[in-house]
């Protein structure tokens, strides 16, 4: 849900769902009430027909004719039933359609009151019933109360309602889908300036453009202008840093060169060569540390590919010389063609610190694995760097403390206790994370996950580190 267009489409979908749901509910209720009222009117008509057909016989009892004008009363199981009862509930007459059925008696209505009720047959068939109590005056002037009742099965009505609902949902679903497609097409056109800004920022990150273009809508003109001012400001500030730090780097190179000349004159075989290698490494580290604050915003937006396998081999060759007495066995598992997009020094700091710690604490074996992280289209290629060893491992309760600067598990071991803290800071600057666990080799396993997506804030963080 990080996409603005996705959020808008979801919001519109929710609104359409609410609006169409309310509309469907209102139409369904209106259709149901209208249909039920129509059923009531029909039952009322049947009841009037029964009243008109009823006649007293010679004995003074009210009787119904053998055949009624409505054919459904004569057809067994037609779904339309009628009966005549006295006030005690005794059935005096029942239509042929109700043969074999027991129509519920229900409530006896008051005199002259039309009473509609919903009831069910013994087989759970729903019914709509209409009962009317009348006071029938006979020829001798004596009146007798009777209850006329008609009932109709609601199976057909419920089927009509169900069919109407299916059509209602089908039509509204088609309308909703059509509206969403139309809205997405309209949204695509409206968001074109935002995609243009995204494309131009990507071109700035790739070094193909120096600033955003003009001609954006009024709402985005200020954003583009402020972005250009920010880029220009960062470039000007980084230029000032670069001049100052270049002078500092030049001053530091002189004493390092003098130290190399002095050490090279030592007569011990191989001594000067080993120390020269370490001085070269010191020189490389100093240049990297001095380059970090001097890197301009534009330099950090242009993320150069670092060949991972080549740099790891360089690190391993150097560590073999440093730990030649221990002679650790290295197992390198790097995916072919793997590249880290970022600062070369950052990668060397990440892999170098972890490998150095593993060599320091291992018994014999050190394993490094680097694979690309899984993700969508990204500014920089992500990676998962894992270094394992067969040493004593890191207790779970001490893992968090080791990520703080100056914290060490064993004070007798050489070091400053900042290696993992540096790795953590570099990983965080690329939006990644560091985790410490147990290795299948028996020792510690440190994993650094660099995600493929680097946000603007993270890139700015990379520019400010140092």
| Residue 172 included in any domain | no
Q: How far is CA 109 from CA 37, 98, 114, 338, 372, in A?
A: 19, 21, 7, 88, 82
Distance in angstroms (rounded) separating the CA atoms of residues 413 and 402: 14
**What parts of the chain have a pLDDT lower than 70?**
1-2, 139-140, 237, 239-282, 284-303, 374-381, 401, 403-419, 453-466
What pLDDT is attached to residue 247?
41
Q: How far is CA 404 from CA 201, 346, 446, 464, in A?
A: 35, 19, 15, 20
Tokens of 224: 């583009």
Strands (E) across 314-454 are located at 329-334, 339-341, 365-371, 383-389, 433-438, 444-450
* 288 phi/psi in degrees, rounded to 5: -65, -45
Would you say 125 and 43 are in contact if contact means Cβ atoms under 8 Å apart?
no
What range defines the domain where residue 107 resides?
4-160
Would you say 345 and 429 are in contact if contact means Cβ atoms under 8 Å apart?
no
What pLDDT is attached to residue 331?
93
Within a 13 Å sphere around the CA of 180, how many CA atoms are in the beta-carbon half?
20
Is 136 exposed, middle or buried (CB count within 10 Å of its CB: 0-12, 13-18, 19+)?
A: middle
CATH assignment at residue 89: 3.30.450
| Residue 81 included in any domain | yes
* 9 phi/psi in degrees, rounded to 5: -65, -40
Domain boundary among 266, 287, 302: 302
What pLDDT is attached to residue 197?
80
Same domain, 409 and 319: yes
Same domain, 308 and 448: yes
Same domain, 310 and 416: yes
Domain boundary among 280, 302, 324: 302
| Residue 196 included in any domain | no
Same domain, 71 and 90: yes
What pLDDT is attached to residue 377?
43
Same domain, 458 and 336: yes
Q: How far is CA 130 from CA 4, 22, 35, 81, in A?
A: 59, 32, 16, 11
Three-state DSSP class for 61?
coil
Same domain, 233 and 358: no
What pLDDT is attached to residue 269?
56
State in Å, rounded, how far the first CA of the chain is from the last one: 34
Give the Cβ contact number of residue 350 at 10 Å. 26
Domain boundary among 110, 133, 160: 160
Record the pTM. Answer: 0.43
| Residue 68 included in any domain | yes
Same domain, 239 and 129: no
* 127 phi/psi in degrees, rounded to 5: -130, 150
Distance in angstroms (rounded) separating the CA atoms of residues 168 and 447: 56
Same domain, 378 and 451: yes
Tokens of 255: 């004493």
Distance in angstroms (rounded) separating the CA atoms of residues 443 and 388: 7
Same domain, 420 and 332: yes
Residue 369 CB contacts under 8 Å (≥ 6 apart), including other chains: 333, 334, 384, 385, 386, 387, 388
């Amino acid at each position: 849900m990080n996409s603005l267009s996705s959020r808008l489409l979801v919001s519109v979908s929710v609104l359409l769902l609410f609006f169409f749901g309310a509309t469907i509910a209102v139409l369904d209720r209106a259709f149901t009430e209208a249909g039920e009222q129509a059923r009531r009117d029909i039952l009322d008509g049947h009841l009037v027909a029964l009243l008109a057909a009823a006649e007293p016989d010679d004995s003074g009892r009210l009787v119904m004719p053998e055949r009624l004008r409505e054919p459904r009363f004569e057809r067994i199981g037609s779904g339309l039933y009628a009966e005549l009862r006295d006030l005690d509930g005794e059935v005096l007459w029942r239509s042929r359609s109700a043969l074999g059925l027991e129509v519920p008696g229900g409530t006896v209505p008051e005199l002259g009151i039309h009473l509609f009720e919903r009831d069910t047959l013994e087989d759970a068939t729903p019914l709509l019933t209409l009962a009317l109590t009348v006071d029938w005056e006979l020829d001798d002037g004596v009146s007798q109360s009777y209850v006329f009742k008609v009932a109709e099965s609601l199976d057909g009505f419920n089927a009509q309602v169900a069919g109407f609902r299916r059509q209602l949902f089908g039509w509204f679903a088609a309308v909703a889908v059509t509206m969403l497609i139309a809205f997405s097409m309209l949204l695509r056109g409206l968001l074109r300036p935002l995609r243009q800004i995204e494309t131009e920022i990507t071109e700035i990150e790739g070094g193909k453009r120096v600033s955003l273009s003009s001609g954006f809508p009024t709402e985005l003109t200020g954003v583009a202008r402020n972005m250009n001012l920010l880029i220009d400001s960062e470039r000007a500030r980084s230029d000032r840093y670069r001049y100052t730090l270049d002078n500092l780097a030049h001053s530091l190179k002189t004493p390092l060169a003098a130290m190399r000349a002095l050490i090279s004159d030592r007569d011990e075989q191989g001594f000067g060569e080993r120390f020269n290698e370490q001085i070269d490494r010191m020189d490389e580290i100093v240049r990297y540390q001095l380059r970090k604050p001097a890197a301009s915003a534009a330099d950090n937006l242009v993320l150069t590919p670092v060949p991972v396998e080549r740099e790891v081999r360089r690190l391993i060759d150097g560590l073999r010389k440093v730990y030649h007495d221990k002679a650790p066995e290295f197992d390198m598992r790097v995916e072919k063609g793997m590249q880290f997009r970022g600062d070369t020094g950052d990668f060397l700091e990440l892999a170098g610190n972890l490998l150095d710690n593993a060599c320091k604490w291992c018994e014999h074996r050190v394993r490094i694995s680097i694979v690309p992280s899984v993700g969508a289209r990204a500014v920089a290629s992500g990676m998962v760097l894992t270094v394992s060893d067969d040493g004593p491992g890191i207790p779970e309760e001490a893992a968090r403390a080791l990520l703080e600067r100056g914290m060490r598990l064993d004070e007798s071991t050489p070091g400053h206790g900042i290696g993992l803290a540096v790795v953590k800071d570099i990983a965080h600057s690329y939006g990644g994370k560091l985790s410490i666990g147990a290795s299948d080799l028996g020792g510690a396993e440190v994993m650094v996950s660099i995600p493929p997506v680097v946000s603007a804030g993270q890139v700015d963080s990379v520019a400010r580190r140092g």
